[in-house]
A = this chain, B = another copy of it.
Amino acid sequence: MSEEDEKAPRTRSKRAASDKRERILRAAIEVFAKNGFYATRVSEIAKAAGVADGTIYLYFENKDDVLVSIFEDRISKLLVVLRRALDDEDTIDGKVRRIIELQLGLLEGERDLAEVITVNLRQSSRLLKQYAAPLFRQYLELVAGVIAEGQKEGILRADVSPRVMARALWGALDGVALTWALGTPDRAPDPASLRRAATQLAHVFLDGLRA
């Protein structure tokens, strides 16, 4: 989001390499979302990225590594954005709304990525549990921190576990979003309906949590 991070000059080759890696990731998100991880052929990723099959292996160890890298890259970025956003908000209500907003923004803006994250995180492969979960936990900790803060301030009820609530919030949003994304495969989903659903959810969640 901030352009400052990019000011560091790069050599042509480094930029080219970085571009290619990025292109492959983007392509992978697209095809994983469409066909799922297992049903996607490496050659399909390559084709979608406009590179040769072998090129994938210059930037990633193997197919699994591509999936893991999607998590690492994207969730890292989400964490940075979320941290910054939470700093800008003063009230608990505002923070919770921001969390929901951002998660929704992620879903609306990069629906494919959302599907990859929500759908593929569940493949019970040891690999994913091992690599993807830690980053996911960081995200949850951040949300749990907000709830704990609200409890300390006496705004939110103290008889619930912040981590459980954080996990429940993600689950609820994720479930709603998944239904929304998958609900109407034939026609484009209506962003307004998703936003409406999320607002309802925010109200219920906050009212329920209120001390």
Where the two chains meet, the residues of A that have a C-beta atom closer than 8 Å to any C-beta of B are 33-36, 38-39, 115, 118-120, 122-125, 129, 133, 157, 159-161, 164-165, 167-176, 178-179, 182, 185, 196-197, 200-201, 203-210
Which of A133, A165, A175, A197 has the most chain B CB within a 10 Å cutoff? A175
What are 24 A-B residue pairs whose CB atoms fall within 8 Å in the complex? A33-B124, A38-B38, A115-B124, A122-B178, A129-B182, A129-B185, A159-B200, A160-B200, A161-B200, A164-B201, A165-B200, A165-B204, A167-B175, A168-B172, A168-B176, A170-B175, A171-B172, A171-B175, A171-B178, A172-B175, A174-B175, A175-B175, A204-B208, A207-B207
Oligomer copy total: 4
Please give me the 6 A-B residue pairs with the lowest Cβ-Cβ distance, nearest first. A171-B175, A208-B208, A204-B208, A168-B172, A36-B124, A171-B171
